[in-house]
Amino acid sequence: MALYEHMLIARQDISAQAVDALATHLKTIVETEGGIVEKQEYWGLRTLSYRIKKNRKGHYVLLNLNAPAKAVSELERQLKINEDVLRYITVRVEAFEQSNSSRKREREGAEGEQRRRPREDGAPETEETGAAV
């Protein structure tokens, strides 16, 4: 079996639970065809670079698949039929990234910067408490 990274963008007007249900449905399709979903990541509602089918935003989902080509072709066939999916792409890879995806690391890094950012009022911080004096 080959390794694939599969990314899809779902419409903005469906809920996160509906996107999760869609990802679960895709997972069952892959497993029915003899494949395995190694990792599933929901990246959230993000702004698109340009409008796609009158949508400015979309729900992003990343799936790491260990599946035969037959499973991938069935997955893509189902996605063509589904009206909730705006775009999808499947790329064959040599190995999966063992750590979190770059998008997830970027989000965690941004949250860490916000916590370490100095106070805007210019008050010095003490070392014991980290609070302004």
The mean per-residue pLDDT over the stretch 13-24 comes to: 92
Based on DSSP, count helices (H) and strands (E) in the chain, helices before strands: 3, 4
pLDDT at 21: 94
CB burial class (10 A; 0-12, 13-18, 19+) of residue 75?
buried
Amino acid at 63: L
The predicted-structure confidence for 80-102, as pLDDT tens digits, reads as follows: 999 999 999 999 988 877 766 65
pLDDT for residue 127 is more than 60: no
For the stretch 51-82, pLDDT in tens is 989 999 999 999 999 999 999 999 999 999 99
CA quadruple 52, 24, 33, 98: dihedral sign = positive
pTM: 0.71
Q: Mean pLDDT in the chain?
A: 83
Percent of the chain predicted with pLDDT > 70: 74
Q: pLDDT grade, residue 123 (50/70/90)?
A: low
- Of the options 3.20.20.30, 3.50.50.60, 3.30.70.60, 3.10.20.70, the CATH number for the domain spanning 2-96: 3.30.70.60
